[in-house]
A = this chain, B = another copy of it.
Amino acid sequence: MIDPVFLDTPLYRCEALESRLGCAVSVKLETANPVRSFKARGTELVASLLAGSGQQAVVCASAGNLGQALAWSGRGRGLDVTVVASRRAPAAKLDRIRALGARLELVDGDFEMARERAAAIARRDGVRLVEDSLDIETCEGAATIGLELVEAAPSFDAVLIALGGGALATGIGHVIKALAPGVEVICVQPQGAPAMTLSWRERRVVTTGSADTIADGVAGRFPIPAVLDDLLLVADDAVLVREESITAGMRLLLDHAGLVVEPSAALGVAAVLEDRDRFAGRHVVTVVCGGNVDMDAYRRWTGG
């Protein structure tokens, strides 16, 4: 059900990064597709199922990438797509959602406010609400990345996964733990938006009053209980990284891998930078999960 343009993405060793990071590094690149993030793997499933059952509309809240992906997937299947996002989301993401033909509604609050508003629209209009990380299709979509990692007959020791709502981590994590249980599943979140990591550590939902990070794609505050339950089954660790490590990771990926990534996609490299001893001599895969950035901010972050 997933358009092949989103599947079998590049997976390759990036030796130029390795001397800087002190370990073997493979990149799983999820940015070279029409929406520049992994999210369409899940929205392709959602939209296929909806179109197959005769539905005509769908709504989601989005930090920016899910909305683009749902807009793309819905457009191709004749679905009427509404995306609710925070007015503070990167303009590049909002512009692309509109350009893909979705109706975009902006809220003044953060991502959690967008979630509330999207739910209200779904109730009002009686249309399907896509809840990222809660809806199984969003996790199954991400899980196809795990299948591709395992199929590559990997020699790697650990997978570094950006942790936000949890779809990416639980999706990949379930596959890894089922098919390659010796590989460590490490989730990485910004210190400034630590709700899910704190929840994982305390094994109960911990919410935070605010989120303060440039990694807009993972800046949630209210972990979903069912997703936490899943994460507790599959994550070997959840770590928090500093903002300066995220920008350092973005710079390394630009200067030594030629990759333009959004802050969330640099979390894995940031985790290695903050704990080199842990990874020394090991082989890690980092999932470069998205590349949608406002270029002015990107140039500032990467010192261009």
Contacts and interface: CB of A to CB of B under 8 A. Distances in A.
Interface of A: 5, 8-16, 27, 29, 31-34, 36, 96, 99-100, 254-255, 258-260, 291-293, 295, 299, 304
A295 B255 contact: yes
A9 B10 contact: yes
Contacts of A304: 299, 304
A15 B291 contact: no
A16 B96 contact: yes
Contacts of A258: 31, 36, 260, 291-293
Closest A-B pairs by Cβ, 6 of them? A304-B304, A10-B32, A258-B260, A258-B291, A5-B12, A29-B32
Contacts of A13: 34
The oligomer's copy count stands at 2
12 contacts: A5-B12, A8-B8, A15-B99, A27-B32, A31-B258, A32-B32, A36-B258, A254-B260, A255-B295, A258-B260, A258-B292, A299-B304
A27 B5 CA distance: 12
B36 A15 contact: no
A34 B5 contact: no
Contact of A12 (B10, B27, B32, B292): B32
Contacts of A32: 10, 12, 27, 29, 32
A217 to B, nearest CB: 14
A293 B32 CA distance: 19
A147 B29 CA distance: 23
B31 A14 contact: no
A96 B13 CA distance: 14
Nearest to A29: B32
A154 to B, nearest CB: 13
A94 to B, nearest CB: 13
Contacts of A15: 34, 99-100
A99 B20 CA distance: 13
